[in-house]
Amino acid sequence: NKIIYQNYFSKLKFVSYSQSSRSDGISTENERRAKGIVKESEGPFRSLGIKQVAEKVGGVRLRQHVNPLRRELQVISPPPVWEEVFEDATQPLHVDVGCGHGRFCLLKATREPEVNFLGLDIRSKLTERGNKWSDEIGVAPNVHFLFTNATVSLLSILQTYPGQVFCITIQFPDPHFKSRHHKRRVVQPQLVDAAAAVLQVGGQVFLQSDVKEVAEAMRDAFERNADGRFCVCPQLHTFDPDFKPELPEKGKKDQFVSEWAAWGWLESNPMSVPTEREVLVRNEGKPVYRVMLRKCLKDF
């Protein structure tokens, strides 16, 4: 029997099934749910009309968890030739870090042709297929997918962009639950510095996860390392003056008490388009923890 996670954030609940993956490379229903895959006939992605999303891409089985600390993934990626990947490289740029299958970017691109969308992912097969899909559905002029480790290459990729970078989204990233694996998480001080450097003043960083601890860790990483360059977006969040933060536990080192926590979580997604993981979580009636940050007027 093959063992898989019943859902990607539950470490203890396993489900076994006797049949292996289908020979045509299409996942079983349990596998889809475990991998956060939404059928092309489900939800908002139906309008894209793209091919089946299978667990195999180009005949190669995808790894759902990639170690970003591998030596080859620590090499800084050069920027693309922007005039070759976008029809108008001066349009505002929305960057989706960890874009996965890419249907968030593709659907946004169909609805917002006046914006360029750049999807970054650490799995090359996904970015290659995303670019193929963008050609098939006719949005290649304003959407592009790039294979890279965004944690180390966000600055090098975006600092040459001819237009303004107005939004960065990091949605449902790999949680890397074990404490010794937290260094593998995408939001590290290096990425916070890069986001602050490339975003226009007033630009947004949208973070969301269905794992509260992961959402808190992302928010706290920006708060701890922003040096006044970011704040919680007051137009979307409501400050709770009576909020009482949890006190640090005695004996534990490097504990952080967030002041931003008093702004709470967003109940709805301001992006107007969900990710595949969000569709699945919403259908199961489970919570999503969201925060919108804004680059402050203080520019470094």
The verdict on whether 210 is a catalytic residue reads no
For residues 281-299, one letter each, b for 16 or more C-beta atoms within 10 angstroms of the residue's C-beta and e for the rest, the string is beeeeeebbbbbbbbeeee
**Strand duo 60-61 + 93-97: pairing:** unpaired
SS3 content of the chain, % helix, strand, coil (to 5): 35, 20, 50
Q: What is the DSSP letter of 251?
A: T
Any idea what DSSP says for residue 63?
A: P
| Cα-Cα-Cα-Cα dihedral sign, residues 245, 215, 48, 120 | positive
In 150-294, alpha helices (H) = 150-158, 189-198, 212-225, 276-283
CA of 4: how far to CAs of 9, 20, 28, 32, 263, in Å?
12, 11, 12, 11, 37
Q: Which residue has the tokens 């920006």?
A: 222
Q: Return the closest-CA partner of residue 81 out of 5, 162, 187.
A: 162
Paired with 146 in beta bridges are 120
Nearest CA among 84, 120, 80 for reference residue 102: 120
If phi over 0 gives left and psi between -120 and 50 gives alpha, with beta otherwise, what is residue 210?
Answer: alpha
| Active-site pick, 96, 121, 174, 210 | 174
Question: Active-site positions?
Answer: 174
